[in-house]
Chains A and B, each alone.
Chain A
């Protein structure tokens, strides 16, 4: 099985930078996804990492260290609309099915 751990809740100020961490324990790591989910809505894809390093996409970046079982999602120039839950999901073995963590609820205040 997989064990995925994220902080439950974070708060940040509009315009600031926030880093959301995700640690995981799995055998046969096969990729890590970050999704954003606004309250009452479907998760939407943000990023995918399978090799070590940083993937940058606009205001959002995601980092992976496979040896440490660790990833983070970095959100820059925070906006109020970034208030949402951020889900870390890991694939392992030969399966294409991601296993999700509980998500981190991010609250952005003025």
Chain B
């Protein structure tokens, strides 16, 4: 069982609110990722990090920001939520190395009303 945790699991929030989605892993992985997934669609990479103080934007344009102050923690923040942000957000981590798979958290299902 993967030791990567996301909170909250479900969140309903009003337009314009600031929110932070939490992600923590206890495996000591350097690499961490945030994906966005709509029902029946592929996972889209929105942010990733190769280690502390390293963050990069992914393929999908996102109005969110991330930080990586500690190895185990990779929170994602939306400064002003909009209905278009309604989606499932999945956090993942992996070790360095060629064949290392990503371990995923349970996800946060966000609804902006």
Chain A residues engaging chain B, CB cutoff 8 angstroms: 1, 4, 30-31, 33, 41-45, 48, 50, 87, 96-103, 105
B104-A43 in contact (CB<8A): yes
Task: Provide the B2-36 mask, 1 if CB < 8 A to any CB of A, else 0.
Answer: 10000000000000000000000000000101010
B90-A50 in contact (CB<8A): no
Determine the distance from Cα of A1 to Cα of B105 in the docked complex, in whole angstroms. Answer: 26
> B94 in the interface, Cβ–Cβ < 8 Å?
yes
A97-B103 in contact (CB<8A): no
Report how many residues on chain B are interfacial, defined by Cβ distance under 8 Å.
Answer: 25
Determine the distance from Cα of A105 to Cα of B59 in the docked complex, in whole angstroms. Answer: 24
- Give min CB distance, B29 to chain A, whole Å: 11
Determine the distance from Cα of A100 to Cα of B35 in the docked complex, in whole angstroms. Answer: 10
Given contact pairs A31-B98, A102-B41, a sample of 15 additional A-B residue pairs in the complex whose CB atoms are under 8 Å apart: A1-B59, A4-B42, A33-B101, A42-B104, A43-B102, A44-B2, A45-B101, A45-B103, A50-B98, A97-B33, A97-B45, A98-B102, A99-B59, A100-B35, A100-B43
Chain B residues engaging chain A, CB cutoff 8 angstroms: 2, 31, 33, 35, 40-43, 45, 48, 58-59, 90, 94, 96, 98-107
Taking chain B's interface residues, is the majority helix, strand, or loop, or is none over half, making it mixed?
Answer: loop
Chain B residues within 8 Å of A31, by CB: 98-99
28 contacts between A and B (CB under 8 A): A30-B98, A31-B98, A33-B101, A33-B102, A41-B106, A42-B106, A43-B90, A43-B102, A45-B101, A50-B98, A50-B99, A87-B42, A87-B43, A96-B31, A96-B94, A96-B96, A96-B100, A97-B33, A97-B45, A97-B48, A97-B58, A100-B35, A100-B42, A100-B43, A101-B42, A102-B40, A103-B40, A105-B40
Chain A residues within 8 Å of B98, by CB: 30-31, 50
Chain A residues within 8 Å of B59, by CB: 1, 99
Determine the distance from Cα of A20 to Cα of B41 in the docked complex, in whole angstroms. Answer: 17
